[in-house]
Structure 1
Amino acid sequence: MRNYHITTVWGIPIRVNISLLVFLPVLAWLIGSGAQIEFYAGIVGGLAGTELDLVRLQAGTTPWLVGTLAAVGLFVSVTLHELGHAWAAMRYDLEVESITLWILGGLASFKQMPREWNREFWIAVAGPITSVAVGAVCYAGVLALPASATVTLFVVGWLAVTNVLLAVFNMVPAFPMDGGRVLRALLARNRPYASATRIAARIGTAFAVLFAVFGALTFSPLLILLALFIYAAATGESRTVALSDLLDGLTVGDVARPVALTVEADASIEDLVDRMFADRSSEFTVTENGEVIGVVTIEDFRALSKAEREADTVADLMETDLPRMAADSPAFDALVELDTARASAALIEGPDGVHVVTRADFASAMEMRRLVGTSGPF
């Protein structure tokens, strides 16, 4: 879904997802509903040591004003929470790519997560600590505001309570929430990072199931959406770490294979099919004047109609928009780039010429690593 850039803090782009823009009016209505105002008015009144004027809070369009201010204040608080993570990451010289606000809160995207347990621990807890600090500042505001400032007092008091609840909820050990990352960091103190991730991910998926069941019983779509997010993110993180471990220490040049089977770009489709049968290969590197310019596979051929097969050449069929990478690039980074580009292969430029790497090459390398247990290149 589309994101909109709203500002930049410390060089970090702050973006708002369209899901949040759609949800904000709903959230404002939910907060400003009579039951919510009545419930929180008692809590805020207790914090302020005074009784809030419910009639004034619920009169006319005031509930909409209260709900809108509280909803916007909540996502300002979420932004500060994510900036807490970002500040801690930057203290360790880690690059923060962006912060995105969406329907379930905020996401700080890091170029690379640290594997040192202490770094991940402090980056993870920095967000909840920031939320508690924001809650404390809001509480100080509640004590400083006059009792006559009913609307402001309610909104600031609501934010004080909500920020503390935000910190507490984020510390639930449901990986990849903050509490789950803290759990992984503590597990990684005395076990391999991949093993710690698997354990934290399993606990995260267990919480996802609990959230889904509770969300279904209470008819809470947001809780069900959160459960789906936790499940997908936990399993995805576990898979990513496992792949990273299997490719650790390898460059893409170690994984890539030399260009052995080639076909000229101006060859006919009929020539290509003959070559596929003769060489028993479903994939060829395409060359033009001795230079590698693309890749063609049997899947590309299958997508052609009969008329196209008779009229087209390999140049019409091949995939040309392939990523180009240096041979000394880390293998895992190359796999991520290949997936991001949604390409079937990548061209690897090294001192001994251009090689080709496909997902099958990565799969073979990881399977060899898993079977042999070696930590070095092949």
Structure 2
Amino acid sequence: MFKHALRLPFRLLGIPLYLDLTFLLILPLLAWLIARQIAPFVALFNLPITPGALNEGILPYALGLAAALALFISVVIHELGHAIVARRYGVNTERITLWLLGGMAQFKKMPTQRGAEAVVAIAGPITSGLLAALGALLLLVLPEQWPALYFVVAYTTFMNVALALFNLIPALPLDGGRVLRSLLAMRLPRMRATQIAATVSRVLAIALGVVGIFSLNIFLILIALFIYIAVAAEARFELADELLSDLRVHELMSTPVVSLPATLSVGDLLAKMLRDARHAYPVHDDSGQLRGMITLQNVQGAPPDAPIGDYLTELPERIDPDASAADLLEMMGRQDEPRVLVMPEKGPVLGIITRTDLYRALQLLTGRTPAPGH
């Protein structure tokens, strides 16, 4: 997910911020929709401003863009609320991504302490509620002679209330669904808690979809589809996590693995790949230090006599051989690279694990025959 996200050139509280391409599509559409709804919004909430002056020329579209940006800034702050509380449990946030349906904070791993997931999840709606309260206070002091600013603050305040309430819907992967699962897990095994929360989530997703169809609300339909698809992935991940929790990484890795010199030719590399039936190797320099990774894809079309050191990609993440296979699953889930190096903190590469290795282990553990091929 979010394979085509653009990383912004700054961090928030040390957390990278990404913009998915779907965000760049939804932003102008949302700005246009807000611009078309200025007068109805003012009338609905009986705001003490005259909407006529806000509908002249390009001003409504400028206000729509300002309100849309303010909304997404609020979403980022909502996600930072999750991240700050997760950090209190020793869990770091890998990134925050803005996309079609809002924002998503990606954690290295959800905290495992009893009830911790509920605390982390509820932090988001509480943050949005605090932003709404701040907006309401601003509306009390903003002069009516500033109708443009008054509208943007009023719209952002309303949307923060809506954001808080919407995220409290008890459907995974929304905050309310995570709170529900965490509370259930205080009395039930986590897998059983996930199954119950997933069932509730599917029912709510269908209900949202039906409402969206009859009200012709495309956003509700998209949200319903997202919940229905995401909850299935969540349930599968929890099952896999439980199955792998008793396995160690060294039991799954492919061995032996030797690093190759950066001066090796592409032709010799291809011959070695054919002999070893392996598609990737770590590569070292003259001093023995690992420089990067070489894969079959890297050298497609390369001259046979060219050194492989000219075609390296970054080394994949590393994991300790004695780490839990469940940690490996989590690592695989948050990276695009299909392989992980197995090596202790100080020591040589002991092996490589690919997604295929992990899937085969899961298939064996669930009693299915693994598919042939690597």
Name the amino acid aligned to 2:41.
Y
- Asked if 1:96 corresponds to 2:90, the answer is no
Please show how residues 322-337 of structure 1 align to structure 2 within 5 Å.
326-335=320-329
Hey, what's the Cα distance between the residues in 1 that align with 2:271 and 2:138?
76
Contact 1:42 1:52 in 2 (8 A): no
Hey, what's the Cα distance between the residues in 2 that align with 1:358 and 1:140?
53
User: Residues 65, 192 of structure 1: CA spacing in aligned structure 2 closer, same or farther, 3 A cutoff?
Assistant: same
- Asked if 1:64 corresponds to 2:38, the answer is no
Q: Which residue of 1 aligns with 2:285?
A: none
User: Residues 367, 159 of structure 1: CA spacing in aligned structure 2 closer, same or farther, 3 A cutoff?
Assistant: closer
Hey, what's the Cα distance between the residues in 2 that align with 1:325 and 1:159?
43
Name the amino acid aligned to 1:40.
F
Q: Which residue of 1 aligns with 2:203?
A: 206
User: Residues 267, 203 of structure 1: CA spacing in aligned structure 2 closer, same or farther, 3 A cutoff?
Assistant: closer
Q: Which runs of 5+ in 2 are unaligned?
A: 257-267, 282-295, 297-311, 368-374
User: Residues 155, 357 of structure 1: CA spacing in aligned structure 2 closer, same or farther, 3 A cutoff?
Assistant: closer
Contact 2:82 2:120 in 1 (8 A): yes
Q: Which runs of 5+ in 1 are unaligned?
A: 260-264, 273-282, 288-299, 301-319, 372-378
- Asked if 1:18 corresponds to 2:21, the answer is yes
Which stretch of the first structure deviates more once superposed, 109-118 or 183-192?
109-118
Q: Which residue of 1 aligns with 2:289?
A: none
Q: How many residues align?
A: 325
Cα deviation per residue 1:329-370 (whole Å; 9 max; x = unaligned)?
321233455675665x8775699x956767676567557766
Q: Which residue of 2 aligns with 1:308?
A: none
Please show how residues 182-193 of structure 1 align to structure 2 within 5 Å.
182-193=179-190
Partner SS state of residue 141, structure 1: helix
Please show how residues 42-61 of structure 1 align to structure 2 within 5 Å.
42-45=43-46, 51-61=48-58
Q: CA deviation at 1:177?
A: 0.4
Contact 1:66 1:155 in 2 (8 A): yes
Please show how residues 244-323 of structure 1 align to structure 2 within 5 Å.
244-256=241-253
Greater fraction helix: 1
Cα deviation per residue 1:100-153 (whole Å; 9 max; x = unaligned)?
111210001100012334211111111111111111111111110112111111
TM-score, length of structure 2 as denominator length: 0.74
Name the amino acid aligned to 1:150.
P
Name the amino acid aligned to 1:78.
V
- Asked if 1:32 corresponds to 2:35, the answer is yes
What's the RMSD between the two structures over aligned residues? 3.7
Hey, what's the Cα distance between the residues in 1 that align with 2:340 and 2:54?
62
Hey, what's the Cα distance between the residues in 2 that align with 1:183 and 1:189?
10
Q: Which residue of 1 aligns with 2:235?
A: 238
Contact 2:108 2:330 in 1 (8 A): no
Larger Cα-atom Rg: 1
Q: CA deviation at 1:72?
A: 1.0
User: Residues 246, 60 of structure 1: CA spacing in aligned structure 2 closer, same or farther, 3 A cutoff?
Assistant: same
Hey, what's the Cα distance between the residues in 1 that align with 2:230 and 2:280?
38
Q: Which residue of 2 aligns with 1:133?
A: 130
Cα deviation per residue 1:230-252 (whole Å; 9 max; x = unaligned)?
12221111111111111113211
Partner SS state of residue 52, structure 1: coil
Hey, what's the Cα distance between the residues in 1 that align with 2:177 and 2:326?
24
Q: Which residue of 1 aligns with 2:42?
A: 41
Hey, what's the Cα distance between the residues in 2 that align with 1:266 and 1:73?
53
User: Residues 253, 161 of structure 1: CA spacing in aligned structure 2 closer, same or farther, 3 A cutoff?
Assistant: same
User: Residues 239, 266 of structure 1: CA spacing in aligned structure 2 closer, same or farther, 3 A cutoff?
Assistant: closer
Cα deviation per residue 1:310-336 (whole Å; 9 max; x = unaligned)?
xxxxxxxxxx99977542132123345
Name the amino acid aligned to 1:37.
I
User: Residues 357, 82 of structure 1: CA spacing in aligned structure 2 closer, same or farther, 3 A cutoff?
Assistant: closer
Please show how residues 101-180 of structure 1 align to structure 2 within 5 Å.
101-180=98-177
